[in-house]
Amino acid sequence: MFSKSRINEPGPKAGEAEKPTMPEAKKAPASSGDKPATAPKPKPPASVLSSDLTVTGNLRTTGDIQVEGTVEGDIRAHLLTVGEGATIKGEVVADDVVVNGRVVGRVRGLKVRLTSTARVEGDIIHKTIAIESGAHFEGSVQRQDDPLSTGGPARPATGHMPAPKASTEPPA
């Protein structure tokens, strides 16, 4: 009999169809959230340190680095490419390491590749390694399942305690 009037509520104007409110509310957040979820970000290009550049200090990135100049410090990256004229004096830690130039220091990588022009003076800790004919390498090579771990090399368990350190104090 009696019905509630909608005098104070806005309604469709003459000639307009009534629009559903729920689908629009869902559509707005979904459209702004869909792009990052459905389209992966393109991988940024490698950072290139040119041949006339000398860097003193450590470099750290989750991306790729191509060194053509000189770096005096440690480098940590996803992919490190050492150019033919490049020199790195420090520790290198990367998932993939390709050495065409000179590295003086430890190299740690899941995949390490020394090309025929490579000169490495230091230890290499790797999961897989390739050394081309003509590469110059001075150091030791050690295979590890997790060469990127920052801890020192694992020592085998001996089953006994190490000897106590000698005391510099005179006996009492």
pTM: 0.64
Looking at residue 39, its pLDDT comes to: 72
Question: In this predicted structure, what is the pLDDT of residue 19?
Answer: 53
Residue (of 79, 82, 72) closest to 115 by Cα position: 82
**60-84 mean pLDDT:** 96
The residue that leads in pLDDT, 77 or 148, is 77
Instruction: Copy the structure tokens of residue 55.
Output: 């860097």
Nearest to 91 by CA among 49, 59, 136, 55: 59
pLDDT single digits (tens) 84-139: 999 999 999 999 999 999 999 999 999 999 999 999 999 999 999 999 999 999 99
Contact (CB, 8 A) for 42 and 61? no
More confident residue, 11 or 84: 84
pLDDT average, residue stretch 1-19: 56
